[in-house]
């Protein structure tokens, strides 16, 4: 354990004290206090990222971090290379330099059965007759391997494996992984330079979140966390890497050298006696894991198992395979290592792999099967998703017979054809994916997949926006979408017809009582009265709620139409712009783009909605049924004194959190923009403002103010 209970307690108390000092504007922080603050933040990062056991709330952590940042901004000479603030905001990677590894990064031999393990041990014993051997067993992490070099206690370089001899320098990106210490007290143990190997993984939770984000952008998801991890490490922008929530396990000390003047013998002795209570630090592999763990590294120390003899190793492979799904990240097997370093040295290595270690691979979560057909499904927004129909196959414990193949581009990218043999993978409980088609298995009978251009439900022509991968059915009456659309139309933020909830919409639709949005206003209440459980009172409530909704303001109706990319704010902008909703029939994409916060993508979507005859007919029906298509009153976005003013915040604010400041501006009727443009009225500048400030200086209509001026502005309104 890196920190004692007493240290933890002291750090927590001191953290609160420093935070309360920061609210006293007379207090000037001194250099030793900043050192303390840094140590406190490091403790909390260690608790959160290495031990998964946070001791304070995220907000308190954010406050400590913001305090450190603001002090460092005022006193740049106090910034140290291992300050927690130095992880974030690293500059872009222009390219990744190739560097040679201090020691080649070898691969491992694979074993798949108890026989393989027996053979492996036999081979080793032919080289060294060692009697019963102690083995250290640990998970084989399925990610991207890395090498870290620490010199004089600082992380100086991190590299990918590359070809094993040379890798790429990814130091900036590795610093975004918070479980990797930027510094560690190696010099206390006489070590001047050390190379540590490990694996970067993307935990399942982060992987799912990442794939959901890709899907929301209409992009195809990644097949497995391993690809996601290695892809993330090679991203140009370290800030993007930070968002991927990667983690890392360090599992091997490949090289170290001692501080000048220390001999190997005196070093070992000193460490044995002075630092580790008589426990050697680097004479066995398990000791090295313990040592690294003690000084703050995330190692498999707590998961490893020490056993004697290969029979026990095999028993452990069975035990671990059963627990495989309990790990929050993917493990694809175990690594079995001869524990004693002296014995490892005697066994040595080939040019390909060490003889003192082997990988035991678990059953693959991959399988091959035939892609027989493609069917199409229509979702709520009209997105048409192709689904591959497969010969049923077992993967990772479940039978898979159909799998989403996302969109047309994905099909092209993966070169999928009907009749192909496809390799599929299911990592953990993640949705199965096609990894690739096995081109080598083609026999010439395969047929290309011709992506449909018509809705599988209503046959209307599909539409695809520029730069998007997804084809959509934009016919608002399309049956497959209609139920979901009605549910959205009556929802709280749209027309807010409470008594007509999701369950009733589905029920009425199934009974043929409700076919489309205008149908809400034509419901036959006599028929509804016949439905079991629908008494007079609920019938009356429903009728009243539907009638009342006719008076809802235009922006709610627009939002309720579910036009893609048109959220509540844009709906208000659209409602304010016209006297009558049908005026949008005559607007061009260019003119729509002139509206606040309406970019090309949104404008194109609005344009296509109002170009569709069925949509226009539906709006006409709604009007004749008594709904408001006329803009009766200006729908103010908010009602405060900053009405119509736009704001953008940049840099670190000292008194307010960014989110608080934004909420305060919005409360007064102000609007927050996402970027600097001529639409911006106020840029509020905190510490460390960067490119936004530079850009704003070039547009002279933008008022550049500081935090105090912003607060004064709020007070004055
Ligand atoms: S030890 C010199 N331990 O598996 C031996 N490797 O298939 C160093 N791997 O290249 C490797 N988990 O990237 C070791 N606990 C673990 C591992 C592990 C995953 C990876 C590593 C290696 C690959 C070989």
pLDDT tens string 75-114: 999 999 899 998 875 677 778 999 999 999 999 999 999 9
DSSP SS3 for 717:
coil
Q: Is the CB of 142 under 6 A from ligand 1?
A: no
Q: At a CB cut-off of 8 Å and minimum separation 6, what does 674 contact? A: 648
Which of 37-51, 163-177, 376-390, 657-671 has the weakest average pLDDT? 657-671
Closest residue by Cα to residue 321 from 479, 450, 139, 465: 139
Structure tokens at 92: 């872009």
Q: Count other C-beta atoms under 10 Å from residue 52's C-beta.
A: 11
Q: How much is the pLDDT for 469?
A: 87
Whole-number Å distance, alpha carbon 125 to ligand 1 midpoint, is 22
Whole-number Å distance, alpha carbon 198 to ligand 1 midpoint, is 7
Residues constituting the chain: 717
Whole-number Å distance, alpha carbon 348 to ligand 1 midpoint, is 16
Q: Which residues, listed in sequence order, are joined to residue 437 by a DSSP beta bridge?
A: 422
| pLDDT of 273 higher than 70 | no
Q: Which residue has its alpha carbon closest to ligand 1 atom 22?
A: 107
Q: Is the CB of 252 under 6 A from ligand 1?
A: yes
Dihedral sign for Cα atoms in the order 563, 566, 572, 578: negative
Pairing of strands 384-395, 366-378: antiparallel
Q: At a CB cut-off of 8 Å and minimum separation 6, what does 305 contact? A: 136, 137, 138, 316
Distances (CA, A) of 243 to 89, 209, 237, 653: 12, 10, 10, 22
Closest residue by Cα to residue 312 from 336, 276, 282, 281: 336
Element (H, E) at 425: strand 421-425
Q: How much is the pLDDT for 636?
A: 43
Q: Is the CB of 602 under 6 A from ligand 1?
A: no
Q: Is the CB of 140 under 6 A from ligand 1?
A: yes
Q: How much is the pLDDT for 694?
A: 87
Whole-number Å distance, alpha carbon 630 to ligand 1 midpoint, is 67
Nearest ligand 1 atom to alpha carbon 139: 15
Which of 211-215, 491-495, 554-558 has the weakest average pLDDT? 211-215
122 tagged catalytic: no
d(CA 592, CA 465): 16
Average pLDDT over residues 594-612: 89
Q: Is the CB of 8 under 6 A from ligand 1?
A: no
Percent of the chain past pLDDT 90, that is, above it, reads 62
Distances (CA, A) of 445 to 371, 390, 435, 621: 12, 16, 21, 52
Percent of the chain past pLDDT 70, that is, above it, reads 96
Buried b / exposed e across 263-289, counting CB within 10 Å, b at 16+? eeeebbeebeeeebeeeebbbbbbbbb
Distances (CA, A) of 213 to 223, 243, 244: 14, 11, 11
Q: How much is the pLDDT for 633?
A: 56
For residues 30 and 692, the model is more confident at 30
Q: Is the CB of 324 under 6 A from ligand 1?
A: no
Whole-number Å distance, alpha carbon 336 to ligand 1 midpoint, is 10
User: pTM for the full model?
Assistant: 0.67
Closest residue by Cα to residue 698 from 679, 681, 677, 672: 677
Place of tokens 């308190």: 60
For residues 396 and 551, the model is more confident at 551
Whole-number Å distance, alpha carbon 299 to ligand 1 midpoint, is 13
| pLDDT of 591 higher than 70 | yes
Distances (CA, A) of 8 to 12, 22, 371, 484: 6, 21, 57, 52
Q: Is the CB of 160 under 6 A from ligand 1?
A: no
The active-site residue, picked from 2, 69, 140, 337, is: 140
Answer for the pair 148, 250: CB distance below 8 angstroms, yes or no.
yes
Average pLDDT value for the chain: 90
Nearest ligand 1 atom to alpha carbon 105: 2
| pLDDT of 639 higher than 60 | no
Whole-number Å distance, alpha carbon 108 to ligand 1 midpoint, is 7
For residues 220 and 301, the model is more confident at 301
Confidence of residue 597 (pLDDT cuts 50, 70, 90): confident
Structure tokens at 137: 């067993």
Q: At a CB cut-off of 8 Å and minimum separation 6, what does 39 contact? A: 11
Closest residue by Cα to residue 598 from 579, 575, 573: 573
Place of tokens 């929050």: 328
Q: At a CB cut-off of 8 Å and minimum separation 6, what does 355 contact? A: 123, 124, 127, 347, 348, 349
Nearest ligand 1 atom to alpha carbon 106: 2
Q: How much is the pLDDT for 679?
A: 83
Q: Is the CB of 335 under 6 A from ligand 1?
A: yes
Confidence of residue 216 (pLDDT cuts 50, 70, 90): low
Q: Is the CB of 108 under 6 A from ligand 1?
A: yes
Q: Which residue has its alpha carbon closest to ligand 1 atom 17?
A: 140
Nearest ligand 1 atom to alpha carbon 140: 12
Q: How much is the pLDDT for 637?
A: 44
Q: What is the CA radius of gyration of the chain?
A: 31
The single-letter DSSP state of residue 272 is: I
**224-247 pLDDT tens trace:** 899 999 999 999 899 889 989 999
Distances (CA, A) of 693 to 273, 642, 671, 712: 57, 22, 18, 20
CA torsion 572-379-452-218 (nearest 10°) is 60
């Amino acid at each position: 354990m890196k920190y004692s209970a007493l240290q933890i307690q002291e750090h927590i108390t001191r953290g609160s004290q420093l935070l309360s000092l920061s609210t006293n504007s007379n207090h000037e922080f001194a250099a030793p206090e900043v050192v303390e603050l840094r140590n406190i933040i490091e403790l909390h990062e260690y608790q959160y990222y290495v031990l998964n056991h946070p001791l304070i709330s995220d907000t308190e952590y954010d406050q400590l971090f913001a305090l450190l940042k603001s002090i460092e901004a005022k006193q740049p000479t106090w910034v140290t290379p291992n300050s927690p603030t130095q992880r974030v905001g690293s500059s872009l990677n222009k390219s990744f330099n190739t560097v040679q590894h201090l020691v080649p990064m070898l691969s491992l031999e694979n074993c798949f059965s108890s026989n393989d393990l027996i053979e492996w041990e036999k081979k080793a014993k032919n080289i060294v007759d060692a009697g019963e051997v102690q083995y250290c067993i640990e998970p084989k992490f399925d990610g991207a391997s890395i090498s870290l070099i620490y010199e004089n206690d600082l992380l100086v370089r991190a590299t990918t494996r590359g070809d094993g001899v040379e890798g790429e320098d990814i130091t900036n990106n590795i610093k975004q992984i918070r479980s990797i210490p930027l510094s560690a007290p190696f010099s206390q143990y006489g070590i001047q330079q050390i190379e540590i190997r490990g694996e970067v993984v993307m935990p399942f939770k982060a992987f799912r979140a990442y794939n959901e984000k890709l899907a929301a952008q209409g992009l195809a998801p990644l097949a497995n966390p391993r690809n996601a991890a290695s892809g993330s490490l090679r991203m140009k922008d370290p800030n993007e890497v930070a968002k991927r929530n990667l983690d890392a396990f360090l599992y091997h000390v490949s090289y170290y050298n001692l501080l000048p003047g220390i001999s190997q013998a005196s070093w070992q002795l000193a460490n044995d006696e002075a630092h580790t209570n008589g426990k050697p630090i680097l004479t066995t592999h398990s000791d090295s894991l313990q040592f690294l763990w003690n000084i703050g590294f995330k190692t498999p120390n707590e998961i490893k198992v020490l056993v004697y003899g290969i029979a026990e190793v095999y028993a452990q492979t069975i035990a671990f395979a059963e627990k495989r799904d309990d790990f929050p990240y993917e493990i694809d097997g175990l690594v079995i290592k001869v524990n004693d370093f002296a014995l490892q040295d005697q066994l040595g290595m080939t040019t390909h792999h060490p003889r003192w270690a082997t990988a035991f691979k678990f059953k693959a979560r991959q399988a091959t099967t035939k892609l027989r057909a493609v069917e199409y499904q229509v979702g709520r927004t009209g997105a048409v998703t192709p689904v591959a129909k497969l010969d049923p196959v077992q993967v990772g414990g479940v039978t898979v017979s159909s799998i989403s193949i996302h969109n047309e581009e994905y099909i092209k990218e993966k070169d999928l054809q009907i009749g192909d043999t496809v390799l599929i993978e299911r990592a953990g409980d993640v949705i199965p994916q096609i990894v690739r088609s096995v081109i080598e298995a083609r026999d010439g009978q395969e047929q290309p997949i011709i992506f449909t251009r018509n809705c599988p439900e209503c046959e209307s022509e599909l539409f695809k926006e520029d730069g998007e991968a997804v084809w959509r059915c934009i016919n608002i009456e399309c049956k497959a979408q209609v139920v979901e659309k009605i549910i959205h139309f009556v929802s709280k933020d749209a027309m807010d017809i409470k008594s007509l909830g999701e369950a009733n919409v589905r029920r009425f639709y199934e009974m043929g009582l409700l076919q489309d949005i205008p149908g809400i206003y034509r419901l036959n209440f006599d028929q509804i009265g016949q439905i079991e459980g629908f008494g007079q009172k609920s019938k009356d409530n429903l009728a009243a709620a539907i009638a009342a909704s006719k008076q809802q303001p235009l922006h709610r109706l627009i939002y309720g139409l579910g036009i893609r990319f048109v959220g509540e704010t844009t709906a208000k902008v659209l409602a304010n712009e016209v006297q009558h909703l049908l005026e949008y029939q005559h607007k061009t994409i260019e003119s729509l783009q002139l509206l606040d916060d309406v970019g090309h993508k949104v404008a194109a979507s609005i344009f296509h909605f109002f170009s569709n005859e069925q949509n226009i007919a539906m709006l006409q029906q709604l009007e004749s049924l008594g709904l408001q298509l006329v803009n009766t009153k200006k729908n103010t976005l908010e009602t405060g004194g900053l009405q119509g003013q736009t704001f953008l915040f940049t840099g670190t604010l000292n008194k307010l959190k960014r989110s608080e400041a934004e909420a305060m501006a919005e409360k007064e009727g102000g609007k927050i923009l996402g970027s600097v443009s001529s639409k911006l009225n106020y840029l509020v500048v905190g510490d460390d403002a960067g490119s936004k400030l530079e850009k704003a200086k070039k547009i002279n209509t933008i008022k550049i103010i500081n935090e105090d001026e912003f607060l004064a502005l709020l007070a004055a309104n």
